[in-house]
Amino acid sequence: MEENKETKNVEELETQGEVTLENTNIKIADDVIAVIAGAAASEVPGVSAMAGGFAGGISEVFSGKKNFAKGIKVEAGEKETKIDVNIIVEYGVRIPDVAFEIQNKVKKAVEGMTGLKVVEVNVHIQGVNTESNMDTNNNEETQDK
């Protein structure tokens, strides 16, 4: 009989719209946050690649899958998170603009998908990719001859 009373009380409260889940205890893994942040950062124009360690590059080669968590470091608490993004930019882009866009996109994506408050998005520029620019210049020189 006790269970029926509790069930009725919950049902009554649900119909009134007053039920709140206070102790949900949902913990989102740092790797999940890193994948969300990496996917958002890699979409920004001017980002050539994510800068990660040697192990991350090897795992991409063997698995054939793009590792979106590469170059992302996450420190997540219960309600907030800090994210470090390591990237390589394309030659010729304005670096402060690219960094600002990464901060905005990463914050919006992580907060929207996880509900965590993003308190910091630190963008670290690890290099500049000049290969695409050099290839274009070399092709123009060979065509002129």
- Is 66 inside a domain boundary? yes
- Is 19 inside a domain boundary? no
Strands 72-76 and 47-50 come out as: unpaired
Return all residues near 121 (Cβ < 8 A) that are at least 6 apart: 37, 83, 85, 102, 103, 106, 107
* Domain region containing 119: 26-144
- Is 17 inside a domain boundary? no
DSSP characters for 111-142? Answer: HHHH--EEEEEEEEEEEEE-HHHHHHHHHHHH
Q: What is the pTM of this model?
A: 0.69
Q: What is residue 139's predicted lDDT score, i.e. its pLDDT? A: 54
Q: What is residue 137's predicted lDDT score, i.e. its pLDDT? A: 52
Q: What is residue 16's predicted lDDT score, i.e. its pLDDT? A: 44
CATH number for the domain harbouring residue 124: 3.30.70.1350
Collect the ranges in the chain with pLDDT lower than 70.
1-24, 53-66, 132-145
Q: Which two tokens stand for residue 36?
A: 């969300």
DSSP characters for 84-110? Answer: EEEEEEETTS-HHHHHHHHHHHHHHHH
User: Which residue's entry shows tokens 């991409």?
Assistant: 60
Q: What is residue 15's predicted lDDT score, i.e. its pLDDT? A: 45
Q: Are 38 and 50 in contact (CB under 8 A)?
A: yes
Q: What is residue 86's predicted lDDT score, i.e. its pLDDT? A: 95
Q: What is residue 8's predicted lDDT score, i.e. its pLDDT? A: 47
Q: What is residue 53's predicted lDDT score, i.e. its pLDDT? A: 63
- Is 12 inside a domain boundary? no
Read off the pLDDT of residues 88-129 as tens digits, 9 standing for 90 and up.
999 999 999 999 999 999 999 999 999 999 999 999 999 999
Q: What is residue 18's predicted lDDT score, i.e. its pLDDT? A: 43
- Is 68 inside a domain boundary? yes
Q: What is residue 93's predicted lDDT score, i.e. its pLDDT? A: 96
- Is 133 inside a domain boundary? yes
Q: Which two tokens stand for residue 38?
A: 């990496």
Q: What is residue 78's predicted lDDT score, i.e. its pLDDT? A: 85
> In this structure, what are the phi and psi dihedrals at residue 77, rounded to the nearest 5 degrees?
-105, -160
- Is 87 inside a domain boundary? yes
CA distance 11 to 58: 54
> In this structure, what are the phi and psi dihedrals at residue 28, rounded to the nearest 5 degrees?
-95, 125
- Is 15 inside a domain boundary? no
Give me the number of domains the chain comprises: 1
